[in-house]
Amino acid sequence: MDIAFALYPGMTLLDMTGPHEVLAHHPEVTCHYLATRPGPLATDTGFQVTATAAFSDLPRPDVIVVPGGGGYARALEEETELVDWLAAAHPSAAWTTSVCTGSTLLAKAGILTGRPATTHWGARDVLGGLGAQVSTDRVVVDGDVITAAGVSAGIDMGLTLAERLWGLETARAIQLFIEYAPEPPFTPVASEEAGPEMVEALDRILSGV
């Protein structure tokens, strides 16, 4: 089973490594790390990842995983080879998936037109503007497409996909293996519940002010 992780500058590392950790240990899986061209690229925090092949090297993967990240807006405008590859590879893939703002790239490729999908809460308007039916759910399964909300939801997406691929028992065993039993130190805050002070604090962190 060939799983293609679509890489681009400015992606979020956990968007890729979350589902990767869930899926990559299975003996049926061969992972491929694709970009416009092979070589290193920087994530949105500066961490370097390496693409081992070009999109054109794997035209028919079995599974596609598209991370999101701070560079998604640039990617929507400049990553034309990625978007074209998604449009061409999706019809033959068993599953096409995304994490966080990666769903906007699926939408740009025409994959989500009129379909329910989720994304990071800060990009819902963008996703809707690209033709998707925006959901606020953490993971959305629609036919052969699975989309996940922001960053950490990629682990949930990976486990959801694992169940579809190998059954509930295997998916639960993987969940045990990665010890995924979230107990966050703070009470979770839904985006709809966040006050302006929290949003402003987040903006300051992300802008480096």
Q: Does residue 88 contact residue 56 with C-beta atoms inside 8 Å?
A: no
In 3-state terms, what secondary structure has residue 97? strand
Cβ-count burial 154-178 (b if 16+ within 10 Å, e if not):
bbbbbbbbbbebbeeeebeebbeee
* Cα–Cα dist 17/49, whole Å: 11
**DSSP, res 54:** E
Active site residue: 100, 117, 127, 151, which one?
A: 100
* Cα–Cα dist 53/21, whole Å: 20
* Cα–Cα dist 115/89, whole Å: 18
Counting beta carbons within 10 angstroms of the beta carbon of residue 104, is it exposed (0 to 12), middle (13 to 18) or buried (19 or more)?
Answer: buried
Strand pairing category for 30-35 and 116-117: unpaired
Residue 31 annotated among the catalytic residues of the structure: no
Beta bridge partners of 148: 99, 139
Active site residues: 100
